[in-house]
Every structure is written in C-alpha cells, then in structure tokens.
Structure 1
Amino acid sequence: MNMHFSVLASGSTGNAFYVETEDQAILIDAGLSGKQMEALFKGINRDISKLSGILVTHEHSDHIKGLGVLARKYKLPIYANEKTWKAMEHLIGEVPLEQKFVFGMETVQSFGNLDIESFGVSHDAAEPMFYVFHHNGKKLVQITDTGYVSDRMKAIIKNADAYIFESNHDVSMLRMGRYPWNVKRRILSDVGHVSNEDAAIAMSEVAGDNTKRIYLAHLSADNNMKDLAKMSVTQTLQTKGIIVGEQFSLYDTDPKTPTQLVSI
C-alpha cells in the first residue's frame, strides 16, 4: 500500500519525475528526448507503456522535450491546465484529442487510489503549477521552477513525507558567472528559480514530523554543484535549528541518472 517514486532526471537540461502506487503509474514532465526517457525508465526497471498518464508542470522545453513523442508512441493521456496547453501545443506536435485532458489549477484529481493536488508557483511560464501526491495517508511534494516559495505554497506543501525541492543556484556563482545580465536578473527574480539558501529557509518552514526525505532538484549546470548545494542547504538549516540526518535526510538528483526507486 506504499507510494513509490524516482526523480528520473533533474536539472537545466531536462526534468522528469515518476510516481506509482499499486494501480497507478504517473510521469510528471518529459523534458528529455524520447530515447533518453526510455533509457531512464529502464534504469528503474519500469515500462513506459504501463503509464496511467503524463502530467505537465509548464511548457518550458526542459519539461516537455519528449512529451509529444512519448504520448504518440505509447498512446498516453496528457494532463495540463488550459493555459499550458495553449502555450505548448505547437511545441509538442499533433496529439490526438482523446489523449488531451485538462488538469485545472488548484484542483485535486483522483487517479485510482492516488489523489493529486495541483498548486501554482511563481515562474515565467503561462500558468506553471506543481503537484502534491496523496496516497494511503502519505504525502509527496514536487516543487521546482519557482522564484520564491509563498505563504500560500507553504500551507499547501507543509509536513510532507518527502519533497522534491528546487535548489537551483548558488547566488555568488550566478552573479560571477558567464550568463548575460538579463538572464541573471531573470533567474534571481520572483519568477525565476530558488537559490540554495532560499530553498533551505523554505524547507525549514514546511518540514514537519512526517518529513524524512528531501531531494535537491533542478540544480543549474553552470551555477551550482551537488556538494555545494548540499553544504549550503545543510548550513542554512542548521542556523534554523534543524540538523540534517536527524529529522530528515538530503538526497542528490542528477540530470542523467535516476534516483533509486523508493517508497513512502
């Protein structure tokens, strides 16, 4: 009666996340090529053709690159809100009408024994939203691609058993890096991405007694490193009185290698 999940890929080059229960198998985003997505599924010993559907968070290419290919090849239903559908339809190619479904903002849809709750984030896309997965009293949260974590978001995601949490950049690396200023300004803005330190502050405010796992996700290839992200988050949490390894553990994600399929 457990919920299992794997962060298949996470980073600037592509994102995909997998959740399953006894009778459901859901893919969230398909931000890598069709061949790469198939390889990722082999890496966790799962079959794409058995998916119940694909949920979309927003229309940026690192979240939908392989979406159309997979949906057409395996005849999979796609779920997204109306504004995201309008923004991405010309990017994913023709998808049969019977495979297109609307998943509204701030709603809950039930997929068999899995209840999925959508919530809005602050990102420069048409209507970006992420998801909370509820099953058998357990709660799993995916929150990346947001410029900040608002009080409204914190209330929705509070005290989950596990989080896939954006820790996109180190501010000093970003400021000193090779990106042009307009790109740096966009990343640092309220509709950009959350830094290591800001992610840790938000974690300290939402983690609860149930929280056991937090995965650091969507790390920038140019403006972050796994060890740096983990160190920064750990140190910031410590200033808030939270010792990593006691209340919960931190885990890496990777742009090419899926995390171990684990259960909560």
Structure 2
Amino acid sequence: MRFSVLASGSTGNSVYIETEQHAFLVDAGLSAKRMEQQLESIGRSMKQVNGILVTHEHSDHIKGIGVLARRHKVPIYANEKTWRAMDGLVGEIPMEQRFHFDMEATMSFGTLDIQSFAVSHDAVDPMFYVFHENGRKLSIITDTGYVSDRMKGHIAGSDAFVFESNHDVGMLQMGRYPWSVKRRILSDVGHVSNEDAAVAMSEVVAQKETMIYLSHLSKDNNMKDLARMSVSQTLETCGIRTGEYVHLFDTDAEKPTELVPV
C-alpha cells in the first residue's frame, strides 16, 4: 500500500491510496483539471482510480467530484446523508456510479479493507477512513473538532496517519476572523488545534516506525514550522520523541507529497 497527500488545506483536500490491485481517492476538493494535474505529478492518472471516497459535503472536499465522475466514469462512495447533501452541489452523477458506504462499516477490494468511522464536524454525517492491507494500516482523520476515544480506537496503531493539525490557538484568537468563525473553529464540530492533535496522537501511536502527515493547516492561523514544532513539543511532553520512531511530515495545499509505502 502506498499513498500521497495530493492537497491539504482550506482550499482543497485529497489523498491518493493504491495497492497492487486497486487505487482510490479520499475526496477531490480541487477542480477536476487540478486533480488530474496533481495525479500526473506523482506519476498517476484518473484511469487508475477505482473510486472516490467522500468524507463530507464541504466544497474543499468535493469540488472536483462531479466532473471527475462524469469525465472518467469513476464510482463515487459516500454515506446516504452525504449523498443527499451533495445533490445540487456536484451535478448529475449516473446511478450506476453512485455507491453507498455506510458509517462505521468496512468494504473490501481484493487485499484492501477500507473502514469508515464518524468524526465531529459541522457537516450532515461526516466520516473518515482507515485502510488495511497485509498487516499495514493507514488512517486519515481531518475535519473534526475533537478526537474521541471511539475515533482513537479506530485509528490506534496505524503505520501512517494523515492527521489534522489545523490551527494555532493563539494565532486564531488574535487573527482577523470574525468571532463567529473563531467560535466555530474552536468548537467540538470545528477543527483540531496543533496541541490537541498532538495529545490525541500521543494516545494512538504505537512503539514502531510511524509516519504522521500534519494536514489541513489553516492558511491564516497556522504555519508548517509552527505546527511541526508544536506537535513535536507536545508529543515530547507526552513521552514521545519525534525522529526516533515517530516521524512528522508536512502537507501542502498546492504540492502533493511523495508517493510512499505505508
């Protein structure tokens, strides 16, 4: 199993995952043209993609889905409430390409098992995914206001995480956003801060080689260096020294990460 974070941030989000037999996108939050370009930059194309897994209906996660579905005849997977919420946002998608992926369910594609789990975000029925193949585990969790014990149970012991590290609380509080937006981000249905993300990570990381990709960073209320430093310091406070067996990686809104094995 290999993966690349094609884009991560408030302007668009997508992760590419492949095995020897199958390839999937989690979300397609860029335009169809940009999605195709991002895939091309890692040596892949939509012709190889067997499906797009939708997490929730916010535009930075579904922007390119309708055009990609129609242009490439690719199956789209989402839960029932998310499908209803997407109607009118993604245009017409043929029924033969519309698949239901229930909450807290597992679907299998050859050697790949994909498990869905609920998160806490201000969407109708948001969920993210854990990928299992040949004893290896990749967890993707962004767009959640907090990380519950139930979420931790799903993602614990992963070999790789794409983990939300959205904002620095101080930058957010002192920033230009209206108070209503700040309150939403800080709420239980908003986004996880650097420090809260690190505390959650400290409780799910196993004592083995682990990759953590810090994702969905706010353009206005965070910086890559700050997120990495904050997460590293908090993990160290919790007894985990990064660089030993836990390794932190940046993600970017424009540039895909390297396609790497889990």
- TM bracket (short chain): over 0.9
Which amino acid in 1 is paired with 2:13? N
Structure 1 unmatched runs, 5+: none
* Partner residue, 2:113: 115
* Partner residue, 2:70: 72
Measured after TM superposition, the shift of residue 247 of structure 1 is: 2.0
Q: Kindly report the root-mean-square deviation, in angstroms, between the aligned alpha carbons of the 2 structures.
A: 0.6
Q: How does 1:9-88 map to 2 (within 5 A)?
A: 9-88=7-86
Measured after TM superposition, the shift of residue 212 of structure 1 is: 1.4
Measured after TM superposition, the shift of residue 89 of structure 1 is: 1.5
Distance of 2:228 and 2:96 partners within structure 1: 43
Residues 50-102 of structure 1: per-residue CA shift (max 9 Å, x gap): 21100000000000000001010000000000000000111000000000000
Which amino acid in 1 is paired with 2:138? L
* Partner residue, 1:8: 6
Number of residue pairs aligned between Structure 1 and Structure 2: 262
Q: How does 1:1-264 map to 2 (within 5 A)?
A: 3-264=1-262
Distance of 2:108 and 2:255 partners within structure 1: 29
- Asked if the contact 1:160/1:210 (under 8 Å) is kept, the reply is no
- Asked if the contact 1:29/1:63 (under 8 Å) is kept, the reply is yes
- Asked if the contact 1:159/1:211 (under 8 Å) is kept, the reply is no
Distance of 1:244 and 1:181 partners within structure 2: 35
Measured after TM superposition, the shift of residue 209 of structure 1 is: 2.3
Residues 146-188 of structure 1: per-residue CA shift (max 9 Å, x gap): 0000000111110100000000000000001011000000000
Distance of 1:85 and 1:209 partners within structure 2: 39
Q: Percent identity?
A: 68
- Asked if the contact 1:170/1:224 (under 8 Å) is kept, the reply is yes
Distance of 2:220 and 2:69 partners within structure 1: 31
Residues 220-249 of structure 1: per-residue CA shift (max 9 Å, x gap): 001000000000001111111110001210
Distance of 1:136 and 1:247 partners within structure 2: 21
- Asked if the contact 1:18/1:28 (under 8 Å) is kept, the reply is yes
Runs ≥4 residues deviating over 2 A: none
Distance of 2:243 and 2:11 partners within structure 1: 29
Distance of 1:178 and 1:109 partners within structure 2: 43
- Asked if the contact 1:160/1:211 (under 8 Å) is kept, the reply is no
TM-score scaled by length of structure 2: 0.99
